Amino acid sequence: MKRMANMTKLFLVALTGISLLLGGCGTKAPTPSEAPKAQKLKVALVIPSTIDDLAWSQSMYEALKKNDKIELVVSERMGKPVDASAAIRQYATQGYDIIIAHGAQYYGILKEITPEFPKITFAYGTGAQSGPNIFAYEPQAQEGAYLMGLMAGKMSKSKIVGIVGPVEAGDAIKYNRGFQQGVLAANANVKLRIAYTGSFGDLVKAAEIAKTHMDAGADILTGSSQQVPGAIKAAAGKPGTYWLSTDMDQSSIAPDTVLAFQTYNWEKIVAKMIELRKSGTIGGQTMSLSFADGTLELKYNPKLVDKIPQDVKDAVEKAKKDIASGALKIDISK
């Protein structure tokens, strides 16, 4: 009996082992853990107006939104230096990798703050002065402005065109001078009216200046900065008046008025900043936007493109190629 009991125990142990072995053969092997995702860069954007201003601020915001390598936060309506300074400093203290202060007016603030945060990348524009950890970006706004000046000079029926300017500085002054030269190159007999609001964001005053230009006979208008939606709406109130835009496509404001627009390809500028930072360069460079490198583009409003005579399109295209090749230089010193 004892021998029988021992044999039974051995049989049960063997059976258990076989069961475990067979069960193990059917078990799914553990899958290797997924490779950790690359950590996104923390980017802060400080803008003088809003992310939906249909102008300068929105153009940069939309470019950053398209970048899947970053986590983005935004501070809007940072027109006052004290507010902008507080926001920039707060982001730096929180350890953001890149802080973009989108306006020429922010350079003085960055110059003061950046030495305290030597490992953080800061950027601003329009500007040409960089720093050890500051990137500057500088749209050659005069290039597209020259082309639209050509259009205005050739297409104006009243021989009067107008500029609604913000302040005589930065991107705005370059744009205005480029437009002025384009008009003169097209027709020296065209009268150019220029007036400034003294602000980047005064939509009401921009509208008033646009109306004043039109009352004086101007049938083609242009201007820059986040105040121009006010001027565009004013122009739309007078049939037969056209607007030429910069910064971004503003045809949604007035589809029957905005004839053409210069756009800034901020995506390429942002991508370059990110790559430079990854390679160990956290500042010290000025990035130019131009037709030569594809960071500037001139586009026509599809709804109104047939309003532009073919000879005008041909002249614009030739001038664009000459600008890109360097054969045509736009002098903004005067």
> What is the residue extent of each domain of the chain?
41-140+266-289, 142-263+296-325
Averaged over 143-166, what is the pLDDT? 98
- pLDDT of 139 higher than 50: yes
Average pLDDT of the chain to the nearest whole number? 91
What homologous superfamily does CATH list for 142-263+296-325? Response regulator (3.40.50.2300)
Q: Which residues of 169-184 are buried (b: 16+ CB within 10 A; e: fewer)?
A: ebbbbbbbbbbbbbbe
- pLDDT of 10 higher than 80: no
Judge: domain 41-140+266-289, CATH 3.40.50.2300.
yes
Specify the DSSP element, H or E, that contains 164.
Answer: strand 160-165
Q: In the numeric block, which tokens belong to residue 161?
A: 């065109």
CB 180 within 8 A of CB 161: no
- pLDDT of 63 higher than 50: yes
CB 153 within 8 A of CB 186: yes
Pick the range with the lowest mean pLDDT from 45-49, 102-106, 154-158, 330-334. 330-334
Averaged over 135-146, what is the pLDDT? 97
Averaged over 271-296, what is the pLDDT? 97
Q: What is the pLDDT of residue 8?
A: 41
Cis peptide before 126 (omega within 30 of 0): yes
Residue 271, Cβ density class (10 Å: 0-12 exposed, 13-18 middle, ≥19 buried): middle
CB 200 within 8 A of CB 165: no
Is 41-140+266-289's fold the same as 142-263+296-325's?
yes
Look at strands 258-264 and 296-300 and give their pairing. antiparallel
**109 pLDDT band (50/70/90 cuts)?**
very high
The rounded distance, in Å, linking the Cα atoms of 44 and 5 is: 78
Averaged over 88-111, what is the pLDDT? 97
